[in-house]
Structure 1
Amino acid sequence: MNDVVVASSASDSAAVEAVKQHHAHMAGTLAGLVDRVLDATDDATALRARDALVRWAEGDLVPHARAEEAAMYPLAHADERAGLLVEAMLAEHVLIVGLVGRLAAAPDHVHAAAEARALAVTFDSHLAKENDQILPLLAGKPDVSLSAALAGMHELLGGHEGHEHSHDPDHGHDEHVDAGDRREAAPTSAAEPAPGGGCGGACACGESDGAGYPELDARDVPHAIRHATIFGALDAVEPGGGLVLVAPHDPLPLLRQLEGRAPGAFTVEYLERGPEAWRLQLVRG
C-alpha cells in the first residue's frame, strides 16, 4: 500500500492527515473495546464490556459514519470513478449500524464476542477503503476543497490527540537517543516508568510478565499513525485495567505525550527493554 497522498493544496493534505489520524485513533479504541469483550471470563463481564463498546459505537462510531455521509461521500459520489464505491461504502454503514444494534442485543458472551469481532473486521476493511481510495480521490481533485468540506467537523477530524507529528522536541528522533539521554529525558509523575528492580540494561533481570492484559504490538502499525492507534487503544482501558504495549524502540516521547493528555492516569512498568522490542505494561489507576 502506498501511504503517500498527492493533494491539490496544502490545506487538503493536512485535512487528509487529520482524518487518517482520527481513523487510527478510532481503530485503536475499537480494538481495545473488542478485546475486552473477547477476553471476558464470564457472561457478566462480557456484557459489561459489550455495554462499553456499544456506548462508544453509538457516541463516536455511528456519528462519524453520519458525518462522512454528509460531508465526504457526496463529493466522492459526484466523480464517476467513485460512484459504485461510495454506494458500497454506504451499504457498509448500514451493516455497521446493524452490527451495533445486534451487539447491544447480544444475550451472552458467545453472541457478544461474535458481533464485536464482526464489527471490528468490518470497520477495519471500511477504513482501509476510505484511507486508500476515498481520501486520495478527493484530495487530488482541484475543484474540491476537502479542508473546507470538513471544517469544524469534530466527528471526522477528532481532536488530533494522537497526531504523530507533535511539538515534542524529541518526537520522531527517539530512535537515535543514546541510553544516557533516555534516562535524562524520562517522563515524570505517573508516567515515569517503574524501575522494576532491574539493572536498567537490555537484559531481563527485574522484569515481569504482563498481568494478562491485552497486548498491542505497535511494531506492526505504520509509523504515521502509530501514536494515534496507541492512544485510541489506551482510551479503551477501564480503571483498573491495563494494556501491554510492544514498541520497536523505547517510547519515551509517547509516554510524555500520554502524561500531557492524561496526567497521572497510567502507571508504567517495563517488561522488556530491547534490543528487538520494548514491552511496557500500562495500567489505568
Structure 2
Amino acid sequence: MSVLTLSSAPEDATALEAAEAHHARLAGELAGRVTMLLTVVDRDPSAAEKIHAGLVAFCDRSLLPHTAAEEAVLYPAAHGMPEARLLIESLIGEHRCLTTLVDALRNAPSPAGAAADARALQVLFEEHVAKENGLVLPLLAMTSEVSLAELLAEMHHRLAGGTGNTSAQEDQDIEEGQAMREGQIEETGGCGGVCGCGGAEETAEPELDVREVPHALRHATVFGALDAVPAGTAMVLVAPHDPLPLLAQIEQRSPGVFSAEYLERGPETWRLRLGHR
C-alpha cells in the first residue's frame, strides 16, 4: 500500500484511482483515434475524413467538457494552496492550448492538414494528465481540508448534465475483463490476404500496434481505434500476448458489432483482424 493511500481518507484514495482510470480512458481513446488517422491519411482519403470527423466529435463530446469541468471544480480547490498555484495556472494555459488544437482540427481543410495538430493534441494531453495524476490529484487527496471524492462527484454531476460521458461503464473500459472462451471468438481461418491466395489485401487495413503502449492506456487505445473503424471495414491489432480479456471487453462494450480473426498466434506477437460488421 502506498504512502498516499495510508495518508488519505479511504474514499479519497478510491476517488484518486477512479480519476486516474478516467484519465487513462480519455488519453487512450484519443491515442487510438489519432493513430488511426495518421495510419490512413495518405492511403484512404474517404476513411480519413470519417476518422477526422469522429476525432473532432470525441474532443467536443468528451475531452473539452472534461477540461472545463476540471477548471470549474478541481482547479479552484488546488489553486488556493500556495504550493500549487503556479502549477494550476500553467495547467489552465495548457487547457487553452488544447482548445486551440481542437479548433485547428475542426477547421482543417483536410485530414492531411489536421494530422500534425492531431498528433500534437495527443502528446500535449498525455503530458497534461501525467501532471494531474502525479501532482494535482495526490495533493488534493492528501489534504484533509479537501474531499477529492466530493470534488470528483461534482465534476461528474456537471458532465452528466452536459455532453460529456462519465458513466461507470466507461471507467470499466480500461480495467481487465474476464477471459473470453475460445468459442466466443469468430475464427474465419485463412491467411488474411498475406499470401496472395485471394484474401483481402492486408495493406488495405490500418494496423494498430499496442506493444509499446503503456498498459494503463492499452485497452482504451484499442477502443478509440475501433470507434474510428467505419462499418464494413477492419483494422489489424498487434499485441504482445493473446488479448482474450480485451476481446471480452469489446464484446461486452459492443455486442455483436466486431468479429475477431487470428492472423498470428505468438509466441511473442499476436495479430488479429478486428472487423466492424
Q: What TM-score do you get using the length of structure 1 for normalisation?
A: 0.78
Question: Equivalent of 2:275, from 262, 271, 283?
Answer: 283
Report the Cα distance in structure 2 between the residues aligned to 1:254 and 1:234, rounded to whole angstroms: 12
Write out the 4+ residue segments of structure 1 that deviate beyond 6 Å after TM superposition. 206-209
Report the Cα distance in structure 1 between the residues aligned to 2:263 and 2:45, rounded to whole angstroms: 31
Query: Which one-letter code corresponds to 1:282 in the other structure?
Result: L
Indicate yes or no: 2:266 matched with 1:274.
yes
Q: Which residue is 1:37 aligned to?
A: 37
The change in CA–CA distance for 1:149 and 1:98 in structure 2 (over 3 A counts) is: same
Correspondences of 1:213-228 after superposition (within 5 Å)? 213-228=205-220
Report the Cα distance in structure 2 between the residues aligned to 1:157 and 1:16, rounded to whole angstroms: 15
Indicate yes or no: 2:178 matched with 1:186.
no
Unaligned runs of 5+ in 2: none
Report the Cα distance in structure 2 between the residues aligned to 1:236 and 1:118, rounded to whole angstroms: 19
Report the Cα distance in structure 1 between the residues aligned to 2:165 and 2:91, rounded to whole angstroms: 16
Report the Cα distance in structure 2 between the residues aligned to 1:120 and 1:5, rounded to whole angstroms: 31
The change in CA–CA distance for 1:228 and 1:55 in structure 2 (over 3 A counts) is: closer
1:273, distance to aligned residue in structure 2 (A): 0.8
Q: Cα RMSD between the aligned structures?
A: 2.9
Q: Percent identity?
A: 47
Output one character per residue of 1:191-244: Cα deviation in whole Å (capped at 9) or x when no partner: x1415258xxxxx9x999845433333333343443333333323333234332
Q: What TM-score do you get using the length of structure 2 for normalisation?
A: 0.80
Q: Which residue is 1:178 aligned to?
A: none
Unaligned runs of 5+ in 1: 171-181, 199-203
Indicate yes or no: 2:189 matched with 1:196.
yes
Does the 8 Å CA contact 2:22/2:171 hold for their aligned counterparts? yes
Indicate yes or no: 2:228 matched with 1:232.
no
Question: Equivalent of 1:161, from 172, 177, 192?
Answer: 172
The change in CA–CA distance for 1:264 and 1:93 in structure 2 (over 3 A counts) is: same
Report the Cα distance in structure 1 between the residues aligned to 2:3 and 2:234, rounded to whole angstroms: 35
Does the 8 Å CA contact 1:21/1:228 hold for their aligned counterparts? no
Indicate yes or no: 2:19 matched with 1:19.
yes
Correspondences of 1:131-142 after superposition (within 5 Å)? 131-142=133-144
The change in CA–CA distance for 1:210 and 1:134 in structure 2 (over 3 A counts) is: farther
The change in CA–CA distance for 1:250 and 1:110 in structure 2 (over 3 A counts) is: closer
Correspondences of 1:1-285 after superposition (within 5 Å)? 6-7=4-5, 8-38=8-38, 39-40=40-41, 41=43, 45-151=47-153, 153=156, 154=159, 155=164, 157-158=166-167, 159-166=170-177, 168=178, 170=179, 185-188=181-184, 192-197=185-190, 210-285=202-277
Q: Which of 89-98 and 140-149 deviates more? A: 140-149
Higher helix share: 2
1:67, distance to aligned residue in structure 2 (A): 0.9
1:29, distance to aligned residue in structure 2 (A): 2.1
1:274, distance to aligned residue in structure 2 (A): 1.0
1:87, distance to aligned residue in structure 2 (A): 0.7
Output one character per residue of 1:226-273: Cα deviation in whole Å (capped at 9) or x when no partner: 333333332333323433222232121221222112111111011211
Report the Cα distance in structure 1 between the residues aligned to 2:145 and 2:201, rounded to whole angstroms: 55
Does the 8 Å CA contact 2:234/2:275 hold for their aligned counterparts? yes
The change in CA–CA distance for 1:78 and 1:239 in structure 2 (over 3 A counts) is: same
Report the Cα distance in structure 1 between the residues aligned to 2:186 and 2:120, rounded to whole angstroms: 36
Does the 8 Å CA contact 2:29/2:220 hold for their aligned counterparts? no
1:141, distance to aligned residue in structure 2 (A): 2.1
